[in-house]
Amino acid sequence: MDPEFIEHPGDKTAISGETVNFTCSARSSPANVKIKWFLNDTFFSNDEPRFNVATPPDQREAGSTISRSTLTVNDVTGFDSSQVTCRIADNSETYSNGAKFDVLGEQERGEKLESKI
């Protein structure tokens, strides 16, 4: 069975200083899926202390395996605005699903709130 997305990262908008989580999950059979995160097509690593990838152990469910991963971005800044991509890969295929990540500064936040009034 080819791996399939069961949870996509989803577009997000945040305000400078907030913490944002992106989650990706995939179903496969057998258990051979790797989940990797990319920011603007650059492989993400845990070298930056504000970023963290958590990948809990796989879960077995009805003859297949559920793999899950969460990318956390702490204390976001405008420089973090990007295309966030979750890639799932088995031994032969790679599948991608992307999300747009926008970070608003304090001035943009005020303008956005005023437009809702």
The pLDDT, as a whole number, for residue 63 is 85
The pLDDT, as a whole number, for residue 83 is 96
- The DSSP element (H or E) to which 99 belongs, if any, is strand 94-104
Architecture of domain 4-106: Sandwich (2.60)
Pairing of strands 12-15, 94-104: parallel
- Condensed to tens digits (0 to 9), the pLDDT of residues 37-90 reads 999 988 887 777 889 999 998 998 888 999 999 999 999 999 999 999 999 988
Whether 94 shows a pLDDT value over 60: the answer reads: yes
The dihedrals phi and psi of 71, each to the nearest 5 degrees, come to: -100, 125
